[in-house]
Amino acid sequence: MSEHPLSGTGVSTSHPVHANLTAPGLVSHALRRGEGRLSASGAFIALTGQHTGRSVQDKFVVDDPEVTNEVWWGRINQKMAPEKFAGLAEKVRAWLAARPVLFTQDLYAGADPAHRIRVRLVTTNAWHALFARNMFIRPPAAELPSFQPDFTILHAPEYEANPAADGCRSSTCIALSFAARTILIAGTSYAGEIKKSIFTVMNWLLPARGVLPMHCSANVGKAGDVALFFGLSGTGKTTLSSDPERSLIGDDEHGWSDTGVFNFEGGCYAKVIKLSREAEPQIWDASHRFGAVLENVVADDDGELDLDDNRHTENTRSCYPLEFIPGVVKGGMAGKPRNVVMLTADAFGVLPPISKLSPAQAMYHFLSGYTARVAGTEKGLGKEPQATFSTCFGAPFLPRHPEVYGKMLAERIARDGADCWLVNTGWTGGAYGTGHRMSIQHTRALLRAALDGSLAQVEFVRDPFFGLMMPKEVPGIPAHVLNPREAWADKAAYDATARQLVSLFEKNFESFAGAVDEEVKAVAIKAAA
């Protein structure tokens, strides 16, 4: 245990501070304090109240003079004046100091010792401390007495900010100061804010060190072949990287350095709505163990989980340590990627289940970061699919301009010779409401063929709308699955829908046209006449 559990945080209190408790101690405190309940299999279930996802509009970056010229200011990174942050931080510290008990965790972000940072969390809730302990990397006990944080998270979920006085939008505020190396999280109990705030920090620090930070999962085969899986929520990033035939490096955040890939985290944060044991046995088993944290998951009076119940949110989550996954890569590090996979859940039903990308196409689709949302996944969506473009498959967590990450990816792919693939885990045979979801068995089979090198040997044909190279024949996969146009009964409707999606891609990419080279510009797809 650290001798000074609040050292470096600016918080001073005479009340009890529980530092670096392990899972049994944290669960015991959480149950005694009424923070949640246990499932029948021993996982801790917590409800997060009105916030069941990230509060994107309430995220701020402090406009410190030393960073102002490099931050990607705008809707993603809203400015907060340094004096406003200082005032709010003082109030949050005073509020935390007045709580009857605090919990702290000293943790690492970054499995590679050359690129990791030390993080200290101060929170009012035992279950939030357990979440952080699951998600980040737990230092050996011998390193705790001398632990001093590089960044501090002051987590005050019940504190309500004052927009007029504090320079924020609402009573909820997530504010990050690179100069003060401090993160304030106030007015929200959604634990994902803790995880993603540190991801934003890593996205700021690592490019200056020549390391590409990535919103992706990663695994490695028996031959040492590393694969990366980029994708937004709901595209299968966690599911597809949790493959029993390959070893998981991590499910969400990684760095790509000169020596290889390393995980930022020590745990997984899986979306579990409609999770089935048959389709995703590793995630299922990990979510049914003592030490896992379940957010907004429904259970009956006996604690039996109903993972199909979305009464609280579609964004139900399970958080568990990486060691809950059999065969996980110990140490969280592996070699250079051999394959880069970009995942999309195309609800328009027009993209192929898998296609091979040229390096220029890879950068184009990386900067585009496309998926589609459908009714039932978010409030306010109508019956028609809505295209979503999140640059670099992680726009909400990018403090620097997207081109910084795009150019780094292109350089890494060229230097290390990785093959690139676009995989559609969305709809086929029609758009959402008419077609059906891609078979996960087909997706897994195609991915395995791509990763073992056999798919690169088949004949490819060019898609006329997007310029994508689709495999013509793959053993065990019906031909109409490989070519999405063939899966549509109404070919004219497919053509019209494909042109519609092409136009959405083109419109989205307009903002990048001046920041990429001619080869990437040439990828800018044109609708067929």
We report the CATH number of the domain holding residue 188 as: 3.40.449.10
**Alpha-carbon distance 352 to 478, whole Å?**
13
Instruction: Name, in order, each residue with C-beta under 8 angstroms of 251's C-beta and a sequence gap of 6 or more.
Output: 217, 237, 238, 241, 242, 268, 269, 270
For residue 218, is it within any domain? no
Residue that terminates a domain, selected from 177, 209, 241 = 209
Question: 288 and 421: one domain?
Answer: no
Length of the chain: 529
Question: 177 and 318: one domain?
Answer: no
**Alpha-carbon distance 88 to 173, whole Å?**
10
pLDDT of residue 387: 93
The structure tokens 């001046």 sit at: 514
Task: Give the model confidence (pLDDT) of 137-150 as tens digits.
Answer: 999 999 999 999 99
Question: 351 and 492: one domain?
Answer: yes
In contact, 157 and 186? CB cutoff 8 Å: yes
Residue that terminates a domain, selected from 158, 191, 209 = 209
Question: 285 and 357: one domain?
Answer: no
Residue that terminates a domain, selected from 324, 358, 391 = 324
Task: Give the model confidence (pLDDT) of 306-327 as tens digits.
Answer: 999 999 999 999 999 999 999 8
Question: 312 and 440: one domain?
Answer: no
pLDDT of residue 383: 58
**Alpha-carbon distance 131 to 191, whole Å?**
7
Residue at 381: amino acid letter: L
What are the residue numbers of the active site?
54, 196, 215, 233, 237-238, 252, 317
Query: β-pairing, 117-123 with 151-156?
Result: parallel
Domain range for 293 = 269-324
For residue 228, what are the β-bridge partners? Answer: 218, 340
Of the candidates 240, 247, 238, the one whose C-alpha atom is nearest the C-alpha of residue 327 is 247
**Alpha-carbon distance 217 to 246, whole Å?**
13
pLDDT of residue 377: 42
pLDDT of residue 3: 58
Read out DSSP for 36-81?
-EE-TTS-EEE--TT--S--GGGEEEE--TTTTTTS-BTTTBEEE-
Question: 478 and 348: one domain?
Answer: yes
For residue 218, what are the β-bridge partners? Answer: 228, 250
Question: 343 and 442: one domain?
Answer: yes
For residue 241, is it within any domain? no
In contact, 137 and 116? CB cutoff 8 Å: yes
Question: 283 and 186: one domain?
Answer: no
**Alpha-carbon distance 12 to 94, whole Å?**
8
Of the candidates 156, 190, 161, 128, the one whose C-alpha atom is nearest the C-alpha of residue 11 is 156
Question: 67 and 198: one domain?
Answer: yes
We report the CATH number of the domain holding residue 279 as: 2.170.8.10
Instruction: Name, in order, each residue with C-beta under 8 angstroms of 503's C-beta and a sequence gap of 6 or more.
Output: 527
Element (H, E) at 407: helix 402-416
Interhelix angle 126-135/23-32, rounded to 10 degrees, is: 150
- In three-state secondary structure terms, 134 is helix
- Residue 206 token pair: 């690592």
Question: 186 and 83: one domain?
Answer: yes
For residue 44, is it within any domain? no
For residue 150, is it within any domain? yes
If one counts the domains in the chain, the total is 3
Terminal-residue alpha carbon distance, the chain = 68
We report the CATH number of the domain holding residue 494 as: 3.90.228.20
Q: For the CA atoms of 380, 56, 49, 6, what is the dihedral angle to 10 degrees?
A: 180
**Alpha-carbon distance 489 to 512, whole Å?**
36
In contact, 16 and 5? CB cutoff 8 Å: no
CA distances from 498 to 388, 484, 485, 487, 491 (A): 16, 10, 9, 13, 10
For residue 260, is it within any domain? no
Residues of the chain with pLDDT under 70: 1-3, 375-383, 524-529
Of the candidates 345, 344, 340, 346, the one whose C-alpha atom is nearest the C-alpha of residue 359 is 340
For residue 226, is it within any domain? no
Question: 368 and 469: one domain?
Answer: yes
pLDDT of residue 525: 60
Question: 160 and 280: one domain?
Answer: no
For residue 501, is it within any domain? yes
Element (H, E) at 434: none
The structure tokens 């990386």 sit at: 366
pLDDT of residue 516: 84
- Residue 500 token pair: 């519609």
For residue 233, is it within any domain? no
